[in-house]
Amino acid sequence: MKTVSVILARGGSKGIPNKNLVSLRGKPLISYSINSSIKSSVEETWVCTDSPEISAFSSSLGVKVLIRPPELAMDNTPSEAALLFFAENVQFDILVFIQPTSPLLKSSYINEGIRLVAEGTYDSVFSAYEEHWLPRWSMNNSPFNWDPRKRPRRQEVPSLLVENGAFYVTKKSLLLETGLRYGGKIGHVSMKECESVQIDSFNDLEFAERLVSSL
Q: Which domains does the chain have, with CATH numbers?
A: 3-129+162-214 (3.90.550.10)
Question: What does pTM read for this prediction?
Answer: 0.91
Residue 189 pLDDT: 98
pLDDT of 94 higher than 80: yes
The region that residue 138 occupies, defined by phi over 0 for left and psi between -120 and 50 for alpha, beta otherwise, is: beta
Cα 199 from Cα 214, distance rounded (Å): 17
Average pLDDT, stretch 55-65? 96
The secondary structure element, H or E, covering residue 6 is strand 3-9
Answer yes or no: 153 catalytic. no
Average pLDDT, stretch 174-183? 96
Q: Is 202 helix (H, G, I), strand (E, B) or coil?
A: helix
- Annotate 164-185 with DSSP letters as a single string: EEEEEEEEHHHHHHHSSS--SS
Band (pLDDT 50/70/90 cuts) for residue 157 is: confident
pLDDT of 214 higher than 80: no
The secondary structure element, H or E, covering residue 124 is strand 124-131
pLDDT > 90 in the chain, percent:
73
How far is residue 80 from each of residues 17, 54, 76, 101, 174, measured CA to CA in Å?
A: 23, 20, 11, 17, 12
Catalytic residue of the set 25, 68, 115, 151: 151
Average pLDDT, stretch 142-160? 89
